Amino acid sequence: MSPIQVLIRKELKVEFRSLQGLVASAMLSFMILMSLRFSVVDSIILQNSGILWASILLTGLGLVTHISTRESERGTVDLLKLAPITRYQLFLGRMVGSLVLLWILSTITLVIYVILFGNPFAENLLLAYLIVLIGCTGLSAVGTLAASSATPLHGGWMITSLFAIPILLFTVIEAAIRSTDSLITGSSDFELAFMLLIMYNVAFVTGGAWLSEISD
């Protein structure tokens, strides 16, 4: 078994043992969508997938930060740095482990979204779900890199958000919203937006691995 696979199993085993971060993030997602459902009256906004992605972004970053904070408090990261494993393997293992948890969280979020707001994607719901899963890749990469740097500091979640949200908003999240919105409106922009989403994800994963390798 490769070091990356070992790290992924460790991440999932620790989280599934208590489900603390996943349950808290799912509850936050429900509260965000519920509050927006009954506070926003503009039908155009309600039929826009931006509401879905706002919830995924905020709760997803919270979950990734929770995972990094837990590892920092237990000294897990320091121990892993002493192990015979490269920095990029450490990054990829933590990122993929967080990604699997983000997939679970985003699935719950999408289900809540469809229940509260209806199914604006109609027969394209499965394709929208695929876009959500792909979008979580970039979120996990940027979130893991930001949280790894911020969690040793006081107010780790806030610092992570200040760093990650601006980057994600104008790249992964924007492309993801354009992709899912095009499914709702039937726009011809889907192919371009989807390709941009793929490119951003590849760039962030490879960039995160490279930055983690050259950093201490």
**pLDDT per position as a tens digit, 97-132:** 999 999 999 999 999 999 998 899 989 999 999 999
> What is the rounded radius of gyration, in angstroms, for the C-alpha atoms of the chain?
17
User: How many domains are contained in the chain?
Assistant: 1
Where b means 16+ CB within 10 Å and e means fewer, 134-151 reads: bbbbbbbbbbbbbbbbbb
Range of the domain at 180: 3-214
Highest mean pLDDT among 10-14, 46-50, 66-70, 124-128: 124-128
Contact 128, 119 (CB under 8 A): no
pLDDT digits (tens, 9 = 90+) for 124-160: 999 999 999 999 999 999 998 887 776 555 555 577 7
CA 210 to chain centre: 20
81 has pLDDT over 70: no
Contact 88, 168 (CB under 8 A): no
Contact 184, 62 (CB under 8 A): no
Report field, pTM of the whole predicted structure over 0.85: yes
Dihedral, 23, 29, 34, 35 alpha carbons, nearest 10: 120
Distance, first Cα to last Cα, the chain:
26
Share of the chain above pLDDT 70, in %: 84
Q: Which residues neighbour 212 within 8 Å (Cβ) at sequence distance 6 or greater?
A: 87, 88, 90, 91, 145, 148
